[in-house]
Amino acid sequence: MRRAHTVEQVRTAEAELMARLPEGTLMQRAASGLAVAIGNFLGRTYGARVVLLIGSGDNGGDALYAGARLARRGAQVIAVLLSDHAHAEGLAALQAAGGRVGSTDDIPAADVVVDGIVGIGGRPGLRPEALATVTLAADHHIPIVAVDTPSGVDVDTGETPEPHVHAALTVTFGTHKVCHLVDPAASACGPVHLVDIGLDVPDAPVQSLQPDDVRTLYPVPDAHSDKYSRGVLGLIAGSMQYPGAAVIATTGALAGPLGMLRYVGPDTVANAVLAVHPEVVVGEGRVQAWAVGSGLSDETLDRELFDRVTQQQDLPVVVDAGGISALDTDRAGYIVITPHAGELSQLIDVPREEIEARRLHYARQVAADRQLVVLLKGATTVVAAPDGSAYVNPIATPWLATAGSGDVLAGLLGSLLAGGVPEFEAAAVAAYLHAAAGQLAAADGPVTAMNVAAALPEVTRQILL
């Protein structure tokens, strides 16, 4: 599991550790890891031209001490001081190692710029002088390595309301921070390299599944399993206008762990489903979960059936697409909704661009207000539970932005629910497998939703091995 902690949690853990260590030990651990990461990023140290952008506080100290280590290994290290309160001991160490204080004129010739402007306590945005130096580096295509987090982002939310650093690499210490996982800030981090400095941190409010976690959560049948114990999913999807949605959602569901699927819908759509998947059973019956909404609208939704399914309190339900706006969440029961930003915008009457800018915030808000699980689809999918816990999906491909992709996800999620995976974890696993299948299917270029669904069994096999 990749865990992301808040600024308060990190500072508390740092204070507890520093109380047990000699003064300066923690900063030296961070500086050592940072220097190694910069050297690896450059592919060399001797002769490399490194410019440090130094603000006040410990973040600048980390950069200065790392610069001293690089200078001792033959790098040309120059510090550009953006504050009158630069870390004095770190600056002295840099100069003693052969580094020097320079100016912004040194930036265009640099091989790398190190962002030591502000630390995790910084507010969104950059002061004019800092912004000018960052802009100069960008204009000359000089890569930036961020210390802990890119300066100017909101560390605890992943929001970027003001100008900020766009890093080619972020080197962080002790644990990941929320901005490393949540867009739009996550996109500004580049790859994130974690340096272990010995922090003892509590449970994290934001997490990302890794393959081992998916393997642990995935319901694998055993010698005593049958089609009923593996899980039966009821699917209400597709319409005369969008019959393909039912076929695609069915394909996604059958690529999951369930033992049987029951389709409920118009005869014409049912025939289309059976033509592709003759193993599907048509008509209502005993199920362990429902997936509803794909390919439906207010005009094509069987409201009586929809309310009966979504208002029961003992079965989990995934509600997708046209079902989301029709959902009466006051009596929802065990519900997972799967909106993209546009659908969430319509649901809560907030502009889409505002939701994209504050993805974690709005996913959590809707989950808490409506007491359900929200899977907010996007380049980094956010899954939020009513208690504020969140999973962020760490993998994605732009090729997943194709018609029917969400239907595959809804079917797969329903299959996991039918297999007994709890709603919050099932949504995270479904998002992970769906994105991994998209990556596999798109290895050679554009994909369709059915390509993604077809890749799910192979992706799952690779993870479960």
| 62 annotated to a ligand binding site | yes
Q: Is 259 annotated as a binding residue?
A: no
Q: For residue range 96-132, what is the model confidence (pLDDT) as tens digits?
A: 999 999 999 999 999 999 999 998 988 999 999 999 9
**Can you give the pLDDT at residue 298?**
77
Residue 148 among known ligand-binding residues:
yes
| Residue 59 marked as a ligand binder | yes
Known binding residue 119? Answer is yes
Is 60 known to sit in a ligand binding site? yes
Token digits of residue 17: 């550790």
2-208 shares its CATH topology with 211-464: no
Say whether 340 counts as a known binding-site residue. yes
Q: pLDDT > 90: what percent of the chain?
A: 89
Looking at the domain that runs over 2-208, which CATH code has it been given? 3.40.50.10260
Q: What is the distance between the alpha carbons of residues 206 and 179, in angstroms, rounded to a whole number? A: 10
Provide CATH code, domain 211-464. Answer: 3.40.1190.20
Residue 245 annotated as binding site:
yes
Residue-wise pLDDT for 66-76, tens only, equals: 999 999 999 99
Rounded Cα–Cα distance for residues 18 and 22 (Å) = 7
Tell whether 406 is in a known binding site: yes
25-45: pLDDT as tens digits: 999 999 999 999 999 999 999
Complete edge-to-edge strand list for the sheet that includes strand 169-173: 100-101, 76-81, 49-54, 112-116, 144-147, 169-173, 192-195
Give domain limits for the chain: 2-208, 211-464
Distance, in Å, from the CA atom of 377 to the CA atom of 77, rounded to the nearest integer, reads: 43
222 marked ligand binding residue? no
pLDDT at 321: 92
Q: Residue 121 annotated as binding?
A: yes
Q: What is the pLDDT of residue 313?
A: 76
**328 among the known binding-site residues?**
no
Q: Is the pLDDT of residue 182 over 70?
A: yes
pLDDT tens for 209-225 read: 999 999 999 999 999 99
> Is residue 47 part of an annotated ligand binding site?
no
> Are 38 and 62 contacting, i.e. CB atoms less than 8 angstroms apart?
no
Is the pLDDT reported for residue 331 higher than 60? no
342-371 average pLDDT score: 95
Answer for the pair 428, 391: CB distance below 8 angstroms, yes or no. yes
Query: 433 phi and psi, to 5 degrees?
Result: -65, -40
What pLDDT is recorded for position 312? Answer: 81
Q: Name the pTM for this structure.
A: 0.92
Q: Is 58 one of the annotated binding-site residues?
A: yes
| Residue type (1 letter), 20 | R
Per the annotation, does 115 bind a ligand?
yes
pLDDT at 333: 63
Does the annotation flag 295 for ligand binding?
A: yes
Given pLDDT bands bounded at 50, 70 and 90, which one contains residue 267?
Answer: very high
User: According to the annotation, is 420 in a ligand binding site?
Assistant: no
Peptide bond into 257 cis (omega under 30): no
What pLDDT digit, counting tens, does each position of 441-463 carry? 998 789 999 999 999 999 999 99
Is 190 annotated among the ligand-binding residues? no
